RNA sequence: GGCGCUAUGGUGUAGUUGGUUAACACGCUGCCCUCUCAAGGCAGAGAUCGCGGGUUCGAGCCCCGCUAGCGCUACCA
């Protein structure tokens, strides 16, 4: 039997990085064993599900390069089938109608309500099988149903026994039936609930391996009971350790904001391969010490055995903008940017520059050589794709800003620069050919003449030409910016006016 | 309250059938390189392996207890 796995997010917000990691692991597993990776949108919660969210999930998967093999399944389309299955279970005596009126509960008090009810039940000697309608005679149950009395449908869990399954990550799992309540399959309004829908859809989609977050580990026992009631063979299960916030709490969009949303990484200039690589290392490690892995290597090395059981903390600091997300993710992105094949980087750069009106068609044509050389030069110290249009702006446009700190440090500290720089421009005009070596020699000669350190002029020139205090070797910058623009920028009075005004 | 899962430096992870100074990556510190910042090279700091007992000649690895965090316990998903 071929392996069929699925990623089954509920479209109630943007794609969470934890969910994205689940998708990745499913995808890697499928590709590794030559199976199929399917996508199912669990949109049964009509109130909270949105189309925008579904789009964001699809876009996110596409961005990560996780293509799915069959048509997307929308769970809501199957609701009638789910309802019918639940009703069938009643007929078979495996489920029953619960006529208890629905209890309305405020979202905030849910946890407390659970605890309170549990305490009350144990005080009264009640257990999970104490529902008064559990053993209601069939005739009466049907009579009340026909009389349009609303009812929920609950699974009739046997009084004695235990479920067990072998989790590929957490090992043998057992749970006594007494710990499992007669779970609701169908709400009194006829709406099928999560556990029912998942099981039915997984059966219908022929899912062989369920790989999902550890938050479902205990749900799995209920689902196994459902598989049994439905007469279906349960799939294999593999639960993934959760990804937590720095305070070891749940990583949520509401509490932690955009760091948890996958689209943030796309929007903030991450290279998909880098983020994917980083994500793969959250809760999984290869048996080698190699951490930078291409998609092919990831597929080749991936195995369920390499998944760890302890939760992973996604490390970031809301207070420090430089650590807005995990430092290792940032490092990995920089690593990819400076080492990946130029051919793969260029399309991303094209999009980034185009979005900032810095792109020129010539970069793919007669100026391609210049463009590649420039990118090669500046990518060495950039961390995100955004850096190319921000710190790197001066390479692609004459309209760039001067970094205030850079102006103070490299220009204003030495008043003589206001005369020296235009004089340097004079010298540069005569450099022929205008190469890094030649401008190097010319600048140093000029520094000697003027009786200043070369470093003073070099740093000043960097700020004049790029607006920045830091950047590549200055003479490479001269080369790439070119004589004409370099000279013009050296003569500019803008930095002085800008800061003093 | 009940049940379950987890617990190795700041973070992500290795630690094979228990065996000398607990490994790798990120981050951090210092030095080298140098026109700046990175990268790179070198050198460091940082872990009584959650705590307490046991078994053993010897335990991060085995056993028991405890604690903490998280998850499930919903007519949410």
pLDDT tens column, A317-327: 888 888 999 99
Per-residue pLDDT at A318: 85
- Rounded mean pLDDT, A421-443: 94
How many C-beta atoms lie closer than 10 Å to residue A317's C-beta?
Answer: 14
With bands split at pLDDT 50, 70 and 90, how would you rate the model's confidence at A501?
A: very low
Per-residue pLDDT at A255: 85
- Rounded mean pLDDT, A342-348: 96
The whole-number Å distance from A55's CA to B63's C1' is 52
Top mean pLDDT of A83-97, A108-122, A481-495 is at A83-97
Q: pTM score, two decimals?
A: 0.94
Distance CA A313, CA A18 (A): 11
Which nucleotide is the nearest neighbour of A122, by CA and C1'?
Answer: B1
The protein residue nearest B8 (Cα–C1') is A310
The ipTM estimated for the assembled molecules is: 0.94
Say if residue A254's pLDDT is above 70. Answer: yes
* Crossing angle of the two packed helices A436-450 and A474-481, in degrees rounded to 10: 120
> CA–CA distance from A68 to each of A4, A23, A441, A500 (Å)?
11, 10, 58, 57
Per-residue pLDDT at A257: 86
The whole-number Å distance from A389's CA to B31's C1' is 34
Say if residue A119's pLDDT is above 90. Answer: no
From A20, A485, A430, A87, select the one nearest A243 (Cα to Cα). Answer: A20
| Residue in the block written with tokens 């996604």 | A314
Enumerate the nucleotides of strand B whose atoms come under 7 Å of any protein CB: 1-8, 10-15, 24-27, 35-39, 69-77
Structural contact between residues A210 and A204, judged by C-beta atoms closer than 8 angstroms: no
Which nucleotide is the nearest neighbour of A187, by CA and C1'?
Answer: B75
Active site residues of A: 253
Distance CA A384, CA A368 (A): 22
From A234, A235, A254, A233, select the one nearest A245 (Cα to Cα). Answer: A254
Distance CA A386, CA A311 (A): 31
Distance CA A444, CA A456 (A): 11
The whole-number Å distance from A58's CA to B40's C1' is 40
Distance CA A315, CA A311 (A): 12
Say if residue A259's pLDDT is above 50. Answer: yes
Percent residues over pLDDT 70 in chain A = 98
Higher pLDDT, A342 or A254: A342
DSSP A213: E
Per-residue pLDDT at A249: 87
The whole-number Å distance from A77's CA to B73's C1' is 29
The protein residue nearest B10 (Cα–C1') is A315
Which nucleotide is the nearest neighbour of A214, by CA and C1'?
Answer: B71
Distance CA A325, CA A333 (A): 12
| Residue range A148-198, pLDDT digits in tens | 999 999 999 999 999 999 999 999 999 999 999 999 999 999 999 999 999
């Amino acid at each position: 039997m071929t392996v069929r796995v699925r990623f089954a997010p509920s479209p109630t917000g943007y794609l969470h990085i934890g969910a994205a990691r689940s998708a990745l692991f499913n995808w890697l597993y499928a590709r590794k064993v030559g199976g199929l990776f399917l996508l199912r949108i669990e949109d049964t919660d009509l109130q909270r599900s949105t189309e925008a969210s579904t789009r964001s999930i699809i876009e996110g998967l596409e961005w990560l390069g996780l293509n799915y093999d069959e048509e997307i399944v929308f769970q809501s389309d199957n609701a009638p089938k789910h309802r019918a299955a639940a009703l069938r279970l009643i007929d078979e005596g495996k489920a029953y109608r619960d006529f208890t009126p629905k209890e309305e509960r405020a979202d905030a008090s849910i946890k407390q309500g659970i605890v309170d009810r549990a305490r009350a039940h144990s005080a009264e000697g009640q257990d999970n099988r104490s529902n008064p309608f559990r053993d209601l005679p069939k005739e009466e149950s049907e009579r009340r149903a026909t009389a349009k009395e609303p009812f929920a449908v609950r699974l009739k869990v046997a009084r004695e026994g235990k479920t067990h399954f072998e989790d590929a990550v957490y090992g043998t799992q057992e749970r006594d039936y007494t710990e499992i309540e007669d779970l609701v399959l169908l709400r009194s309004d006829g709406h099928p609930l999560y556990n029912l829908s998942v099981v039915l859809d997984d059966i219908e989609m022929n899912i062989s391996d369920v790989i999902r977050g550890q938050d479902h580990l205990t749900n799995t026992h209920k689902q196994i009971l459902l598989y049994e009631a439905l007469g279906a063979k349960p799939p294999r299960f593999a639960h993934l350790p959760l990804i937590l916030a720095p305070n070891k709490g749940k990583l949520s969009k509401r509490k932690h904001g955009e760091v948890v949303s996958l689209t943030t990484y796309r929007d903030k200039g991450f290279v998909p391969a880098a983020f994917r690589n980083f994500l793969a290392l959250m809760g999984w490690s290869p048996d080698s010490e190699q951490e930078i892995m291409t998609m092919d290597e990831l597929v080749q090395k991936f195995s369920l055995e390499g998944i760890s059981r302890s939760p992973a903390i996604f490390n970031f600091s809301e207070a420090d903008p430089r650590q807005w997300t995990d430092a290792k993710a940032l490092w990995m992105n920089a690593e990819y940017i400076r080492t990946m094949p130029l051919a793969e980087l260029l399309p991303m750069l094209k999009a980034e520059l185009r979005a900032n009106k810095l792109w020129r068609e010539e970069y793919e044509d007669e100026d391609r050589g210049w463009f590649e050389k420039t990118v090669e030069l500046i990518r060495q110290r950039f961390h995100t794709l955004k850096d190319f249009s921000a710190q790197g702006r001066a390479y692609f446009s004459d309209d760039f800003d001067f970094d205030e700190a850079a102006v103070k440090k490299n220009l204003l500290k030495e008043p003589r620069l206001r005369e020296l720089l235009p004089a340097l421009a004079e010298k540069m005009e005569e450099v022929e050919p205008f190469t890094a070596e030649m401008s190097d020699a010319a600048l140093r000669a000029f520094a000697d003449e003027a009786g200043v350190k070369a470093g003073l002029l070099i740093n000043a020139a960097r700020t004049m030409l790029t607006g920045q205090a830091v950047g590549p070797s200055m003479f490479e910058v001269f080369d790439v910016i070119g004589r004409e623009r370099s000279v013009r920028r050296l003569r500019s009075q803008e930095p002085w006016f800008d800061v003093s005004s």
